[in-house]
């Protein structure tokens, strides 16, 4: 899947990028394989249309035409359909189309306070990479994934935008098995806390019925 990209337009001290018009480009890719798959869940971003326009706003924009790179910095936000990603800075890599057509997006690198927001989850990390052609979003560095009342923590998260599968991994570290002082759990492990819907309500109703029975 190839996304095409548009010109950057000023938007009150911010720059807007609309995919499908003309000029420079926006998007991302970098995938590193890591052992220790811990969790796989399905995201609402399953079958996400990566050919949609991508709107980007930022405080500053630097275009390096010779390198085919566009660098957004300062409270950067990028929106594509139901997916929103943000970071301190975003580097866009692109290829110039033959015949002077719209540039072709290859990847989008996010650095510093990276964040993903979708209808089903919120994920925060130190960095992220959006691979448009592979339809893959990778987040890394102290990743925290929140879905409803459930929270997962690990080193690396991969979200397949075709299947919707979320893979959470944690990199083994030297001395693994020693308790993490902050979380009181072994280092190098994926950590999670999950809510149990309805359990509290059932217990409450049972206690109420027992109390009424005793009163009668």
Contact status, residue 90 vs residue 75, Cβ threshold 8 Å: no
Q: pLDDT per residue over 166-182, tens digit each?
A: 988 776 554 444 444 44
pTM: 0.68
User: Three-class SS of residue 203?
Assistant: helix
Domains of the chain: residue spans and CATH? 8-215 (2.60.450.10)
Q: pLDDT per residue over 89-117, tens digit each?
A: 999 988 877 777 767 778 999 999 999 99
Strand partners, 40: 167
Residues of the chain whose pLDDT is less than 70? Answer: 1-41, 102, 171-216
Task: Report which of 145, 116, 141, 115 is spatially closest to residue 126, judged by C-alpha positions.
Answer: 141
The pLDDT value given to residue 26? 28
Contact status, residue 137 vs residue 129, Cβ threshold 8 Å: yes
Find where tokens 């693994």 sit. Answer: 176
């Amino acid at each position: 899947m190839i996304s095409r990209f548009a010109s950057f337009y000023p938007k009150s001290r911010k720059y807007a990028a609309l995919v499908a018009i003309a000029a420079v480009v926006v998007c991302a890719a970098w995938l590193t394989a890591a052992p220790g798959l811990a969790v796989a869940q399905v995201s609402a971003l399953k079958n996400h249309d990566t050919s949609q326009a991508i709107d980007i706003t930022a405080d500053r924009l630097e275009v390096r035409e010779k390198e085919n790179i566009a660098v957004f910095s300062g409270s950067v936000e990028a929106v594509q359909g139901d997916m929103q990603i943000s970071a301190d800075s975003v580097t866009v890599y692109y290829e110039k189309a033959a015949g002077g057509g719209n540039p072709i997006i290859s990847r989008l690198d996010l650095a510093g306070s990276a964040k993903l927001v979708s209808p089903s989850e919120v994920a925060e990390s130190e960095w992220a990479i959006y691979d448009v052609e592979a339809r893959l979003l990778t987040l890394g560095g102290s990743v925290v994934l929140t879905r409803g009342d459930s929270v997962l923590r690990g080193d690396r998260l991969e979200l397949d935008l075709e299947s919707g599968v979320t893979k959470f991994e944690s990199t083994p570290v030297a001395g693994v098995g020693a308790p993490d002082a902050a979380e009181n759990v072994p280092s190098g492990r994926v950590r999670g806390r999950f809510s149990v819907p309805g359990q509290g309500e059932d217990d409450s109703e049972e206690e109420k019925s027992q109390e009424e029975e005793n009163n009668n």
